[in-house]
Chains A and B, each alone.
Chain A
Amino acid sequence: MLRIENLCKNFGKKQIFNNLNLELNAGIYGLLGPNGAGKTTLIRCITQLYPTDANAISYNGVPVQRQRDYLTHIGYLPQKFGLFRDLTVYDALEVLAVEKKIPKGEVKGEITRCVEAVNLSDRLNSKVKTLSGGMIRRLGIAQVFLGDPDIMIFDEPTAGLDPEERLRFQIIISQLDRKKTVLISTHIVSDIEEAGDNVVVLNNGSVALEGTCAEVCEAANGKVYLVPRDELGKIKEKYFVQSQFSLGGKTMCRIISSAQLSYENDQPTLEDGYMSLIKEV
């Protein structure tokens, strides 16, 4: 179990977190938040890429700074991922497998297992530079799996991917062992809609909500309305347009508002819940 207690982080005068608290247990967590909310900073604190106060982050009840092998429990896919382009997929993964202190005799088996999981077995002997962008991202996911870590962290794993690769990613994630703690940082809500058991919504450096997908949806319950676009001007209260679509030759808007409106209510989605939280509707 990963516990974050009173985490404070500043970059110069800019305060990112002020006493942030969060608890991550087994399961898949979606870390949602707009750009600049502090998602990457939080991940870098968890992975100790950014130093933290002594007791701010603990794993299984022990502050991480006191655990020499803490990083062996972590698999991490950074936002910007790449491996040395002239190496083969196998060699590139071997480099990281050894850095992860995977026993020498187990390296080959581990690499085979991980590339199978991301469907790259046939490219094991290909040079990294011959892989497509999506394949390289899958290679990144494979290196997260190396050593079968208890905590897997993915920072913006689907950014820039085409729909097919995003779907692949969702499938890979949905097949993960639920006994692991998986944290997927994204601002694309659909990435975690399928596989995510839990969602953490970060906004302005603090946790706006931590709960299940249903609980996030609940945040927008009764606030989602379907309004003809040409009637939007009549609404005096504060609202936020979530999407628009055609219905029977009319352009309809799906809006979120905390005011009681006399328009048709709609069932809130995860994205509605997320938007209502970050827009503070």
Chain B
Amino acid sequence: MNTKNYFKMFIKDLFLPILSALFFIYINFLHIKCIVDVNVYGPHGMLSMLNASMDSSVLCFVFFMFISYYFTDKVNKSSMLECAEVTRGGALGVYLRQLAVLTALNLLFTASYFIYNMYAYFGWNIDHAEVLGHILMCLFIYIFMVSFIAMLLGLLLSLCFKRFGAYVVMIAVILLTSPFTEYFIGMNSSIFYVYEFFCLYPRGTEFFADNFLGYSLLPDRVSAPFFFAALIFAFIALKLLKGKSRLKYSAIALSGVICVVSLAVYFSPGTPTLSGRHPDAFYIGDSLYYYNNKDNLKIEMGEFSISKYEMDLAVKNELSAKVTMYVDNSSLEAYKFTLYHGYRINRAEDQEGASLDFTQDGDYVEVKRGASPVSTVTLYYSGYGTSYYTNAQGIFLMGTIPFYPRSGYQIMYDVKTQGFYSNYHETPVEFNVKVDYAKTVYSNLDSTESNTFSGTADNIILMSGFLEEKSFDGINVVYPYLDNERYTDERISTDIAVFFDSRPDDRPIKRIFTLPPFYLGKYANCLYFSDGTLVCSQIISLPIIYPSSMVLDVKRNLMLVYNSYIHNNSDFENRLKYEKEVYTVDEPGLAMLLQNAVEQIGEEKVLEAVDEYLYNYSDTRESKEFFADLTKEG
């Protein structure tokens, strides 16, 4: 009954209902505009309605903080509070009822968001329960919780400050958390980490939801609102509950527990991929790492080959892996591997389960042999990558980065083009992969049972997210089903037909994977695996980008030799020595050709020409042809 009177207080103020109505009209306008845009201009992606909702999250915060302050301050100023304090309900009762009114308003707003998004979900035939769950969670975290925190903050400000002070704090809070501030901070500033903590608004891969993952609902984003709600609530309890009451201490203790748990979750390690301009996200994190460590990169041919991998992977917020490798040389004193530096090895074992000593330095791992000869090496490790992510919302792992150990020391990353090389196994390798993950995982390997794969390939890919796999004329396509602009059944069939009509080769193609929409470097644009898998940024672009995969194929070995020459001359010498034993002067290897060219026309000129050749996709000459032309010109 009493809350009814607080509703009356809210409504009879006039300013509050008018402001609320205007904001309500505005959010309805945003969503109706989205519907009109789709009807007039065609599909904009199935998450466009959610995008429209998330766009107003900041405004929800500003609106609710302001009206909460205005409403509670107005009741305070009516001098009713002192009377109410001398009742059993006390001032807490008054504030709780005001909070109930504001929460009802918040629920009304959230419900309108919900209705529009349900219209999109059912009206646009999204028909995937995981997307429905995603939409509901986004609305809860980024609309309801953001508004709720704003309400609590407004209430706290009315308790602590006079009008001028309260408005100053409100402006400061908005500036501190606003995405506009994020724009000014830039990517590399350490201030970002502070800002990131306070930013409660929707985070996508690039401020918007991509069709692979949607908005970030990773533990850090979900825990942050609970932390702030509990923290503000503790201050409110401290201000409102007088003396040493049990209720006061219980409220503060409960808030404290929620804060500690939320902080622990917030700081739990995981891929920060879904954090907009986070300085460690995407290619930026890798780019910075490899730039800072460019003098520590090593290249060294492995003295052993791996014939088979058995991988037990588990993905929650990060990747946990147990990878067993069958090695062909059992008598080496040490086994050198390349493993992406984001994964930290916890243990190494031989085939008997005996522990092996190991060292890990960046991307490079050395495992020492024990007393017995070694036939298998098993590494246990966990961690996460930045460009290639593993988290609760999706998986994107490709053999392009060594997310499983590779024989020898390899240079995986090209600092110049800010991307990973297209690293392949020289000969196809047998893989048995099991992924413990809540969603369906897709791979180029054949699926034996749920999220379990096996097969032989020169590269592997594991992907999960808002993806599905469908067959189009015998070609399995893994694509983001939320992208209804580019990936309708009709469109995919047409694009594949156009590609097959225009392709310049006849390599078998069994599967096509589409890549997430962010920068992965020059070499990941279009990749072909020997098992008939094609990985590309977009199917529609295949007629243009596919030739680059062919060019890369013929240049791939020269890249290894070139890197070896630049970064580790002793490795290059070994390669040269090996080639001189295996090849002849009439049929030289690439290291021999490079050495000859350097001797004939000078190192500087050769390296410049090789560099130009490697990165020029329009240059389709094979490497041997290139050297022949170079020495002829020289």
Residues of A within 8 A of B75 (CB): 84
- Nearest to B79 among chain A residues (CB) is A82
Q: Is B83 an interface residue (CB 8 A)?
A: yes
- Nearest to B12 among chain A residues (CB) is A86
Q: Is A126 an interface residue (CB 8 A)?
A: no
Residues of B within 8 A of A91 (CB): 5, 8
Q: Is A69 an interface residue (CB 8 A)?
A: yes
Most A C-beta atoms less than 10 A away, residue of B82, B84, B243: B82
Instruction: Determine which of A71, A86, A92, A95 lies in contact with B86 in the assembled complex, contact meaning CB atoms within 8 Å.
Output: A71
Determine how close the nearest CB of chain B comes to the CB of A147; give it in whole angstroms.
9
Determine how close the nearest CB of chain A comes to the CB of B568; give it in whole angstroms.
73
Q: Is B242 an interface residue (CB 8 A)?
A: yes
Q: Is A51 an interface residue (CB 8 A)?
A: yes
- Nearest to B82 among chain A residues (CB) is A78
Residues of A within 8 A of B2 (CB): 94-95, 98-99
Most B C-beta atoms less than 10 A away, residue of A81, A84, A140: A84
Give Cα distance in the complex from A212 to B330, angstroms. Answer: 108
Residues of A within 8 A of B89 (CB): 98-101
Q: A51-B242, A95-B5, A99-B2 are in contact. Are A71 and B87 (CB under 8 A)?
A: yes
Q: A96-B87, A99-B88 are in contact. Are A49 and B94 (CB under 8 A)?
A: no
Is the pair B85, A83 in contact by a Cβ cutoff of 8 Å?
no
Is the pair B86, A49 in contact by a Cβ cutoff of 8 Å?
yes
Is the pair A84, B80 in contact by a Cβ cutoff of 8 Å?
yes
Most B C-beta atoms less than 10 A away, residue of A69, A71, A95, A98: A95
- Nearest to A147 among chain B residues (CB) is B87
Instruction: Determine which of B9, B82, B87, B94 lies in contact with A86 in the assembled complex, contact meaning CB atoms within 8 Å.
Output: B9
Q: Is B333 an interface residue (CB 8 A)?
A: no
Q: Is A74 an interface residue (CB 8 A)?
A: yes
- Nearest to B85 among chain A residues (CB) is A49
Q: B158-185 vs A: 1/0 string, CB under 8 Å? A: 0000000000000000000000000000
Is the pair B78, A83 in contact by a Cβ cutoff of 8 Å?
yes
Chain B, range 61-103, C-beta contacts under 8 Å to A: 74-75, 78-80, 82-90, 93-94
Determine how close the nearest CB of chain B comes to the CB of A87; give it in whole angstroms.
6
Q: A49-B85, A99-B88, A100-B88 are in contact. Are A83 and B244 (CB under 8 A)?
A: no
Instruction: Determine which of A50, A99, A140 lies in contact with B93 in the assembled complex, contact meaning CB atoms within 8 Å.
Output: A99
Determine how close the nearest CB of chain B comes to the CB of A7; give it in whole angstroms.
15
Is the pair A85, B88 in contact by a Cβ cutoff of 8 Å?
no
Determine how close the nearest CB of chain A comes to the CB of B9; give it in whole angstroms.
5
Residues of A within 8 A of B244 (CB): 51
Q: Is A29 an interface residue (CB 8 A)?
A: no
Is the pair A81, B79 in contact by a Cβ cutoff of 8 Å?
yes
Q: A85-B78, A99-B84 are in contact. Are A48 and B242 (CB under 8 A)?
A: yes
Interface size on B, residues (CB 8 A): 27
Q: Is A14 an interface residue (CB 8 A)?
A: no
Q: Is B629 an interface residue (CB 8 A)?
A: no
Instruction: Determine which of B5, B86, B87 lies in contact with A87 in the assembled complex, contact meaning CB atoms within 8 Å.
Output: B5
Give Cα distance in the complex from A144 to B74, angstroms. Answer: 22
Q: Is A154 an interface residue (CB 8 A)?
A: no
Q: A185-221 vs B: 1/0 string, CB under 8 Å? A: 0000000000000000000000000000000000000
Q: Is A72 an interface residue (CB 8 A)?
A: yes
Is the pair A81, B83 in contact by a Cβ cutoff of 8 Å?
yes
Residues of A within 8 A of B87 (CB): 71-72, 96, 99-101
Give Cα distance in the complex from A78 to B91, angstroms. Answer: 14
Give Cα distance in the complex from A276 to B9, angstroms. Answer: 49
Give Cα distance in the complex from A205 to B414, angstroms. Answer: 81
Residues of B within 8 A of A95 (CB): 2, 5-6, 80, 84
Give Cα distance in the complex from A31 to B30, angstroms. Answer: 62
Q: Is B13 an interface residue (CB 8 A)?
A: yes
Instruction: Determine which of A47, A80, A101 lies in contact with B88 in the assembled complex, contact meaning CB atoms within 8 Å.
Output: A101
Q: Is A104 an interface residue (CB 8 A)?
A: yes
Is the pair A80, B1 in contact by a Cβ cutoff of 8 Å?
no
Determine how close the nearest CB of chain A comes to the CB of B490; give it in whole angstroms.
60
Residues of B within 8 A of A74 (CB): 86
Instruction: Determine which of B9, B80, B86 lies in contact with A82 in the assembled complex, contact meaning CB atoms within 8 Å.
Output: B80
Determine how close the nearest CB of chain A comes to the CB of B34; give it in whole angstroms.
37
Q: A50-63 vs B: 1/0 string, CB under 8 Å? A: 11000000000000
Is the pair A80, B79 in contact by a Cβ cutoff of 8 Å?
yes
Most A C-beta atoms less than 10 A away, residue of B9, B80, B90: B80
Q: Is A169 an interface residue (CB 8 A)?
A: no
Residues of B within 8 A of A69 (CB): 88
Residues of B within 8 A of A86 (CB): 8-9, 12-13
Give Cα distance in the complex from A69 to B82, angstroms. Answer: 18
Determine how close the nearest CB of chain B comes to the CB of A8; give it in whole angstroms.
15
Instruction: Determine which of B1, B9, B88 lies in contact with A84 in the assembled complex, contact meaning CB atoms within 8 Å.
Output: B9
Determine how close the nearest CB of chain A comes to the CB of B37; give it in whole angstroms.
41
Is the pair B88, A94 in contact by a Cβ cutoff of 8 Å?
no
Instruction: Determine which of B83, B88, B243 lies in contact with A76 in the assembled complex, contact meaning CB atoms within 8 Å.
Output: B83
Q: Is A143 an interface residue (CB 8 A)?
A: yes
Most A C-beta atoms less than 10 A away, residue of B1, B79, B90: B79
Determine how close the nearest CB of chain B comes to the CB of A79; give it in whole angstroms.
9
Give Cα distance in the complex from A99 to B93, angstroms. Answer: 7
- Nearest to B1 among chain A residues (CB) is A98
Give Cα distance in the complex from A81 to B77, angstroms. Answer: 10
Is the pair A99, B94 in contact by a Cβ cutoff of 8 Å?
yes
Give Cα distance in the complex from A86 to B28, angstroms. Answer: 29
- Nearest to A101 among chain B residues (CB) is B88
Chain B, range 1-30, C-beta contacts under 8 Å to A: 1-2, 5-6, 8-9, 12-13
- Nearest to B77 among chain A residues (CB) is A82
Determine how close the nearest CB of chain B comes to the CB of A250; give it in whole angstroms.
48
Residues of B within 8 A of A68 (CB): 88
Is the pair B9, A96 in contact by a Cβ cutoff of 8 Å?
no
Give Cα distance in the complex from A252 to B142, angstroms. Answer: 79
Give Cα distance in the complex from A50 to B244, angstroms. Answer: 12
- Nearest to A95 among chain B residues (CB) is B5
Residues of A within 8 A of B80 (CB): 82-84, 92, 95-96
- Nearest to A98 among chain B residues (CB) is B2
- Nearest to A96 among chain B residues (CB) is B83
Determine how close the nearest CB of chain B comes to the CB of A6; give it in whole angstroms.
18
The 7 closest A-B pairs by CB, nearest first: A82-B79, A86-B12, A51-B243, A98-B2, A99-B89, A99-B87, A76-B86
Q: Beyond the given A72-B87, A107-B1, could you list 17 further A-B residue pairs with CB under 8 A, ordered by the A residue number?
A: A47-B85, A48-B86, A49-B82, A49-B85, A49-B86, A51-B242, A71-B86, A78-B79, A81-B83, A84-B80, A85-B78, A86-B9, A86-B12, A99-B84, A99-B89, A101-B87, A104-B1
Q: Can you name 20 A-B residue pairings with CB atoms under 8 Å?
A: A49-B86, A51-B242, A51-B244, A68-B88, A69-B88, A71-B90, A76-B82, A82-B78, A82-B80, A84-B78, A86-B12, A87-B8, A94-B2, A94-B5, A96-B80, A98-B89, A99-B90, A100-B87, A101-B87, A143-B83
